[in-house]
Amino acid sequence: MAKLGENRYGKARVRLSRITRKGDLHEFEEWTVRVLLKGDFETSFTEADNSSILPTDTMKNTVYSLARASKAETMEEFAMELGNHFLANFAHVNEASIEISDKAWERLILDGHAEPTTFKLGGPELYTTRAVRSPGQPWAVTSGFESLTILKTTKSAFTGYIQDRLTTLKPATDRIFGTSASATWDYAAPNLPFNEIRSRIVAALLKTFAEHDSMSVQHTLFDMGKAALDAAPEIARITLTMPNIHHLLANLSSFGQDNPNHIFVPADEPHGYIEATVER
C-alpha cells in the first residue's frame, strides 16, 4: 500500500528586475525567485482534490505585487517578507521556503566616477539567499554565492601526495590555480545588515585566495573559511565548494620548443571537486 511522504510545491524561476530611485542615484537588481510551501496538501496528491492548492501562477503574481509595495533593501529582507505573506494568509501552510538569486550587476565607472544610472554585469556569479520559517518559529537565513570565477597564476603548489601505479600527475611547485567557487553561510539572526556582511565575507575570501601560499585547494579553502569567520562574527559557519579548474602545461617538445610555465591548455572537465564547512 502506498502512502504520501514528505512533499512541497511552489513556483520557480520567477524573474524580477527592480529599480530603486534615490533621487538621481539608482540601484538596480535582477532577482530570480523560488517559492516552496509545505503544508496540508495531501488530498491534492491522493484524492485529486485541489481545494488546498494555491495556484503557482498566484505565487508568481504575489512576488511582483509584494515587490511593488516592499521597502526591503536586501533580497534577504524581501525573502522573509514574501514568506511571511504566505504563512499569514494560508493557515494550512506549515513552512515557507523562499530562495532568491541576484545577478552581479555593478555600477559603471566612467572617468574615475561611479555612473549613477548605468550598470554592467560583473561576472557569471550569482549571489544567493534562502529563508525558511514555520509558524511561531524564527527565520533561518542562509546566504552565499555561486560560480565566483577566480584565478591566480602563481603561489600555488601540489606536492607530497599519494602516488601509485596509476598516478601520472607530476608534482608542481608553481601552477595556475583556478576555480569557480560557491559558498553558503548561516546567519546567527534574521535582522542583520545583510549586504554589508556579504561584502565583508567576499572581500575576506578574495584577499585570502590572492595572498595565500597554497599547498593544495584544501589548504586554501580552509584558510579562506577562517578569514570569512574572522570578518563576519554574525555567521556561525561557512561551506565552500571549490572545483579545481585545470590549466595544463602544453607539451611543445614536438615542435622543438621549451615551455617555462608559459603556454597552457584550459581543461574544464574533468576537474577536482573540493568542499568543506568551516565553523566556529
Residue 274: name the closest of 225, 236, 237, 210 by CA. Answer: 225
DSSP per residue over the chain, as a string? -----S--EEEEEEEEEEEEEETTEEEEEEEEEEEEEEES-HHHHHS---TTPPPHHHHHHHHHHHHHH---SSHHHHHHHHHHHHHHH-TTEEEEEEEEEEEEEEEEEETTEEEEEEEEEEEEEEEEEEEEE-TTS--EEEEEEEEEEEEESSSB-B-S----TT--PPPBSS--EEEEEEEEEEESSSSS-HHHHHHHHHHHHHHHHHH--BSSHHHHHHHHHHHHHHH-TTEEEEEEEEEEEEEEEP--GGGT---SS--EEEEEEEEEEEEEEEE-
Which one is catalytic: 60, 103, 212, 246? 246
Given the residues 32, 43, 56, 239, select the one marked as catalytic. 56
Is 43 part of the annotated catalytic residue set?
A: no
Tell me, yes or no, if 239 is annotated catalytic. Answer: no
Q: Choose, from 11, 60, 103, 212, the residue flagged as catalytic.
A: 11
85 is known as an active-site residue? no
Distance CA 205, CA 226 (A): 9
Residues carrying an active site annotation:
11, 56, 246
